[in-house]
Amino acid sequence: MREYSGRMTTAQTEAWQRGPVPGFEPLLMPVVHALIQAREDLERLIASVPPEHVWRRPGGAGSLGFHVRHAGGALDRLFTYARGETLSDAQRAALKAEGEPGDPPAPLTELVAAVHRIIDTAMEQLRSTPRTSLLEDRTVGRAGLPATVLGLLFHAAEHTTRHVGQAITTALVQR
């Protein structure tokens, strides 16, 4: 068993194949494993993407930069809802800017570092999430859509891995 340290592991196996991570509620282990895997996949992506590919939109699809930035932004927003909070003005502004490269365009290393920080914060939230809160009701967005803490945490994990996967695929398409 490995303690989550915020650093990429050199293990050859996927995160879920390494067993439980100490310090986390066992019912949240799929979320923990998904976030560890996303972190490691992003770290590997950095070395394989030339800077000029980060903000390209092949075939009109979302750019690799968008997918990386959105993976972190959505994770942050969904974990905010899981805490029972509403989004801040800064979170809403970040959402609107996720597809914009910036001037100068944000490099992949900067985008990945930001996602790593969000994953670290999410892991601390997971570490302190008690089992007894998992089925508590939560609402999502201005519409107040119904959810639970567990539903939000799980969706955050799968949404993060989906966009990391899209970033990887976008990188492969551009090679």
Helix axes 108-127, 29-46, angle to 10 degrees: 170
The verdict on residue 6 lying in a domain is no
pLDDT single digits (tens) 68-97: 999 999 999 999 999 999 999 999 999 999
CATH classification at residue 40: 1.20.120.450
Q: Which domain holds residue 155?
A: 23-174
**Residues 6, 22: Cα–Cα separation, whole Å:** 14
Domain count for the chain? 1
The verdict on residue 9 lying in a domain is no
Q: What is the dihedral of CA 100, 122, 159, 6, to 10 degrees?
A: 80
The verdict on residue 139 lying in a domain is yes
Q: How high is the pLDDT of residue 4?
A: 43
pLDDT single digits (tens) 33-65: 999 999 999 999 998 999 999 999 999 999 999
Answer whether 11's CB lies under 8 Å from 18's CB: yes
